[in-house]
């Protein structure tokens, strides 16, 4: 399973427009199609809710602000290991954001960004989290919906 | 045949070279104690023995040192004054001849209890075990850490290093991702630091108490949502050993204070 995932990483890097359906092991994970550096279609056809997405981004449980900062003036503790989320929606399309959330390691194997919608190929996962993705398909869509609202001021 | 051998040798060299690059350890000149990342107030708390809360455990340890068990001998009966332990803690984890593997200071205290005092081992993170290790550690305060000088430890250090470099948990992060590559950054506002265990057991303000390096390591493993090693797992001692050996030459601060 791991080698297939890695192999498809190489393929998608080489052929930008190649469409691949990713095999997914854990039963609650839905399959998705990668096109170039994006997942164009919403996971499980879910409709994202931007305000629910903001609540996820600022909730420490979901880990975003451990590394990122952003336009969250009410949040005292924000990280600086990763770029600010401000203007994210101007830099990336919804599909690009979706792939970066689902499995950023596909685009950069050395990234420290966790894969938020993945449950395979991980080592020594704690019992409480075994076989589960960090975010559900609906939560991924909520965060994508929120991040697309973060536009650079024009 | 020779050519084939040369090719495979140079391949090996390439592999060794690239694995070195991937794991960018901190250069000796750049090493810093966790204390240097703290506020001046917390540094002052550590440096003044009359306000360092870890000293309460050291005092407890002094009482335990001389307490005679019903049968058997007190620590002091064999070792004399606790000051005889000067230079001991800075060598741990150390190779144990009988077990043929490294043991950490907590395990050494417990081996001594079972083998020489006819006492049951103290529980992991128990007040008494922390008190004794704090007392023993305190005797080496200011001395350079020497862990890993024994060549028999090298294979175990390497295993600990591998564990440090290996991604784990639901968040899929290795220790090195933060502590080698991002020690100058802040995780949700908190300094990450370089993972040099120079002052264990430490009084951690977050814990409101003293804790071992193993407790701290379990915190980090739970943080990346990995399965934490148990206190007596060989992997735990190997990781402690690697961390202490990478702090070789740095001054011991036990009992340190950390945020």
Task: Give the pLDDT band of residue B23 (cuts 50, 70, 90).
Answer: low
**The pLDDT value given to residue A153:** 72
A111–B contact, CB cutoff 8 A:
no
Cα separation, B145 vs B17, in Å, equals 28
Nearest chain A residue to B177 by CA distance is A112
Residue B51: exposed, middle, or buried by beta-carbon count in 10 A (0-12, 13-18, 19+)? Answer: exposed
The answer to whether the annotation marks B108 as part of a ligand binding site is no
Closest Cβ opposite residue B187 in set A66, A127, A132: A66
Cα separation, B134 vs B127, in Å, equals 10
B182–A contact, CB cutoff 8 A:
yes
DSSP code per residue over B161-189 = HHHHHS-BTTTTB-HHHHHTTSTTSEETT
Residue A57: exposed, middle, or buried by beta-carbon count in 10 A (0-12, 13-18, 19+)? Answer: buried
- Which CATH number is B54-138 given? 1.10.760.10
- Which CATH number is B25-46+148-258 given? 1.10.760.10
What per-residue string of b and e applies to B135-146 under the rule 16 or more CB within 10 Å gives b? bbbbbbbebebb
Q: Which two tokens stand for residue B160?
A: 């600990």
Q: What are the sequence ranges of the domains in chain A?
A: 2-148
Asked if B227's CB is within 8 angstroms of A114's CB, the reply is no
Closest Cβ opposite residue A124 in set B181, B185, B226: B226
Identify all chain B residues contacting A6, using CB atoms and an 8 Å cutoff. Answer: none
Encode pLDDT of B178-233 as tens digits.
Answer: 999 999 999 999 999 999 999 999 999 999 999 999 999 999 999 999 999 998 89
The closest alpha carbon to B142, from B237, B35, B217, belongs to: B35
**The pLDDT value given to residue A27:** 55
Which residues are CB-neighbours of A95 under 8 A, at least 6 positions away?
A: A35, A38, A39, A40, A41
Q: How many CB atoms lie within 10 A of CB B22?
A: 9
Question: Which residue has 């995780």 as its token pair?
Answer: B187
User: For residues A1 and A140, which has the higher predicted lDDT (pLDDT)?
Assistant: A140
**The pLDDT value given to residue B232:** 87
Q: What are the Cα distances from residue B73, in Å, to A11, B67, B80, B113?
A: 69, 9, 11, 9
Closest Cβ opposite residue B188 in set A78, A112, A122: A78
Q: Which two tokens stand for residue A128?
A: 């409480």
Identify all chain A residues contacting B191, using CB atoms and an 8 Å cutoff. Answer: none
Q: What residues does CATH 1.10.760.10 cover in chain B?
A: 25-46+148-258, 54-138
The answer to whether the annotation marks B79 as part of a ligand binding site is yes
- In this predicted structure, the answer to whether residue A3 has a pLDDT above a threshold of 80 is no
Mean pLDDT of all residues in B148-155: 97
Identify all chain A residues contacting B177, using CB atoms and an 8 Å cutoff. Answer: 112
Domain A2-148 has CATH 3.40.50.720: no
Nearest chain B residue to A80 by CA distance is B186
**The pLDDT value given to residue B12:** 46
Would you call B18 a catalytic residue per the annotation? no
Which residues are CB-neighbours of A70 under 8 A, at least 6 positions away?
A: A57, A78, A84, A85, A86, A88, A150
- Contact criterion met (CB below 8 Å) for A104 and A115: yes
Task: Give the pLDDT band of residue B72 (cuts 50, 70, 90).
Answer: confident
Encode pLDDT of A44-102 as tens digits.
Answer: 999 999 999 999 999 999 999 999 999 999 999 999 999 999 999 999 999 999 999 99
How close does chain A come to B178, measured CA to CA in Å? 9
What pTM, to 2 d.p., does this model score? 0.87
The answer to whether the annotation marks B179 as part of a ligand binding site is yes
User: For residues A22 and A128, which has the higher predicted lDDT (pLDDT)?
Assistant: A128
3-state SS assignment for residue A59: coil
Cα separation, A57 vs A112, in Å, equals 17
- Contact criterion met (CB below 8 Å) for B222 and B166: no
């Amino acid at each position: 399973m791991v080698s297939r995932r890695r192999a498809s990483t190489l393929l998608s890097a080489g052929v930008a427009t190649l469409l691949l359906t990713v095999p997914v092991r854990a039963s609650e994970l839905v399959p998705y199609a990668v096109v170039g550096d994006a997942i164009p279609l919403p996971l499980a056809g879910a409709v994202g809710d931007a305000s629910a997405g903001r609540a996820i981004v600022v909730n420490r449980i979901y880990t975003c602000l451990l590394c990122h900062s952003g336009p969250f003036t009410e949040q005292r503790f924000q990280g600086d290991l990763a770029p600010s989320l401000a203007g994210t929606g101007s830099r990336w399309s919804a599909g690009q954001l979706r792939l970066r959330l689902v499995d950023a390691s596909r685009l950069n194997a050395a990234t420290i960004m966790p894969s938020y919608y993945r449950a395979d190929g991980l080592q020594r996962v704690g019992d409480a989290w075994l076989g589960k993705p960090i975010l559900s398909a609906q939560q991924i869509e909520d965060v994508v919906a929120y991040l697309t609202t973060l536009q650079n001021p024009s | 045949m020779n050519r084939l051998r040369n090719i495979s040798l140079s391949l090996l060299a390439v592999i060794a070279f690239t694995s070195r690059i991937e794991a960018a350890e901190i250069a000796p000149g750049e090493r810093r104690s966790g204390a240097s990342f703290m506020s001046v107030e917390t540094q002052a708390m550590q440096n003044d023995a009359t306000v360092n809360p870890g000293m309460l455990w050291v005092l407890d340890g002094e009482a335990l040192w001389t307490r005679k068990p019903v049968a058997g001998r007190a620590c002091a009966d064999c070792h004399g004054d606790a000051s005889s332990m000067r230079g001991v803690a800075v060598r741990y984890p150390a190779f144990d001849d009988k077990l043929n593997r490294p043991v950490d200071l907590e395990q050494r205290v417990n081996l001594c209890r079972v083998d020489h005092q006819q006492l049951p081992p103290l529980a992991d993170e128990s007040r008494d075990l922390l008190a004794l290790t704090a007392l023993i550690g305190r005797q080496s305060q200011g001395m350079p850490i020497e862990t890993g000088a024994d060549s028999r430890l090298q294979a175990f250090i390497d295993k600990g290093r591998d564990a440090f470099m290996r991604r784990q948990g639901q968040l899929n992060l290795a220790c090195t991702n933060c502590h080698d590559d991002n020690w100058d950054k802040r995780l949700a506002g908190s300094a990450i630091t370089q993972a040099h265990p120079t002052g264990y057991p430490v009084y951690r303000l977050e814990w409101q108490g003293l804790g071992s390096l193993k407790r701290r390591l379990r915190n980090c493993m739970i943080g990346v949502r990995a399965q934490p090693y148990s206190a007596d797992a060989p992997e735990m001692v190997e990781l402690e050993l690697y961390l202490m050996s990478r702090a070789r030459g740095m001054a011991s601060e036990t009992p340190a204070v950390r945020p």
